[in-house]
Amino acid sequence: QSVLTQPPSVSGAPGQRVTISCTGTSSNIGAGYDVHWYQQLPGTAPKLLIFANTNRPSGVPDRFSGSRSGTSASLAITGLQAEDEADYYCQSNDSSLSGVFGGGTKVTVL
């Protein structure tokens, strides 16, 4: 049981926009801790996609965007591409000063 709640799966056709929610509590996201997002392709290590809620590391396409509000955060993928098919995880910290992850969301490109 992950601390942060994500939908198990989302899907969309190529070119469409999909969003992934990440719901926390007043002990983590709601306490103001930043949210980060990772993309994990099958059989590989996670890759940082968004850090500190809205920021993209160098090399990450601007099709990926993040937001945070209250006790939740979201990752949006616009112009969905076949190569975006992967698992996505949100991460934050909580009041115990440890990190917490979401349960992951599998994105399927139809």
| 7: CB partners within 8 A, 6+ apart | 20, 21, 105
Task: Indicate whether 61 belongs to the interface with another protein (CB under 8 A).
Answer: no
Task: Indicate whether 30 belongs to the interface with another protein (CB under 8 A).
Answer: no
Task: Indicate whether 24 belongs to the interface with another protein (CB under 8 A).
Answer: no
Rounded CA separation 53/42 (Å): 24
The CA-based angle 91-100-109, given to 5 degrees, is: 40
In the complex with another protein, the residue whose CB is nearer, 47 or 63, is 47
Binding site for another protein (CB under 8 A): 2, 34, 36, 38, 40, 45-48, 51-52, 57, 89, 91, 93, 96-104
